Copies of this chain bind each other. A is one copy, B any other.
């Protein structure tokens, strides 16, 4: 997605070979027009897949996922990050490890928001090791839903998330796939 790549090169900042700062337009300050374009691009790529719900992970995934859900005319469901186990009926939880934050959290879904006949698109801002996406799969599939694919706004293709998901049989669409980075330098695939 050319517009997004241009924006990453103009306003993003690679701090080293792992950390890409895009907080001026994607996850702290957010450009709503860019998010709308991102949502429309995911909707175009997954057109014809019969998506019934867009699922994302709290909280940086919400903006691109909401715009994708708007374009697809389906609800969005937010998987919450809880610090501790929620003791409540109808709640599914799974442990996820975040490499970025070096911390564990419990990804949480209220079951009533996913149905056995759902065809789900997972949308998130970043895909790196795939921990969050596999956590989402561990919640959605036992609920009986079919996960049709994963859409990542940015993916660090030199980390294993995208290929792990593809090897497991999922369609992965990345709007800005980064081949490699170093301080001040970003190279797309």
Contact = CB atoms under 8 A, between A and B. Distances in A.
B63 A32 contact: no
Given A30-B78, A76-B29, A78-B30, A113 B24 contact: yes
Chain A, interface SS category: mixed
B69 A66 contact: no
A62 interface: yes
14 contacts: A24-B112, A25-B75, A29-B113, A30-B69, A30-B78, A32-B74, A32-B75, A32-B76, A33-B70, A33-B73, A63-B66, A63-B76, A66-B66, A66-B67
A73 B77 CA distance: 25
* Size bin of chain A's contact surface: 20 to 34
Contacts of A83: 83
A98 interface: no
Contact of A59 (B25, B32, B59, B70): B59
Contacts of A31: 75
